[in-house]
Amino acid sequence: MTTEQLYNELNYVNHSREKRLFYANMMINHPELIPKLLDILFRVDDKISPRAAWVLEFMCSKDIETIIPYLDHFTENIYKVHLDPAVRPVAKICELLAKHYNSREDNQIKTELTKVHQERIIETCFDYMINDEKVAPKAYGMVALFLFGKHFDWVHPELKIILDRDYPKQSPAFKARARQILKKIKK
């Protein structure tokens, strides 16, 4: 399948779990399509870009290790994603990577996610926190930052400053997540 054929296929992806799962399984079963999916995702001004992000998120939720060969490409470009429907799934993937990296169970993410990858994710997640993003990317970002902050001593103090500063003017959902993270930082 060419990139343009995959692009046309993504026209059929919608918000339904069934469609996202179908295409996520296609990526897992045909990993040679993942670079093409990433190429479409990083066409950041294209209306199909979010659909690629949805598929990538479902793929990573089902089998996070399928993204390992593409961590360089993914982390080098995530900062470019700006359409709201694409930002949320990218932020979720960042959270998934952070959770697997910090998992008590052995997994390949622990050995393959380099410091450079982590730094790129941290930078992007801080952008989510300080920019005018919706609550979901901020929530996923703060979890990723908290988890990576266990390995980068400067992250927790910076995250705490942002959470304390923004807490009064944010939504109840943001406040709930911020309270959890601030409590964990204090421990």
Reading the block at residue 100, the tokens are 């697997």
For residue 145, what pLDDT is reported?
Answer: 97
pLDDT at 186: 86
Q: What is the dihedral of CA 34, 87, 84, 167, to 10 degrees?
A: 170
Q: Is the pLDDT of residue 117 over 90?
A: yes
- Asked if residue 54 has pLDDT above 90, the reply is yes
The pLDDT tens digits of the residues spanning 23-41 come to 999 999 999 999 999 999 9
User: How many domains is the chain built from?
Assistant: 1
CB 76 within 8 A of CB 120: yes
pLDDT digits (tens, 9 = 90+) for 131-168: 989 999 999 999 999 999 999 999 999 999 999 999 88
56 pLDDT higher than 90: yes
Looking up residue 168, the CATH number of its domain turns out to be: 1.25.10
**Percent of the chain residues past pLDDT 70, beyond the cut:** 100
What is the DSSP secondary structure assignment for residue 149, as one 8-state letter?
T
Contacts of residue 172, defined as CB under 8 A and 6 or more positions apart, other chains included, come to: none
Residue 15: pLDDT band by 50, 70, 90 thresholds?
Answer: confident
Mean pLDDT, rounded, for 37-47: 96
For 43, the domain range is: 3-186
Cα–Cα–Cα angle for 183, 184, 187, rounded to 5 degrees: 95
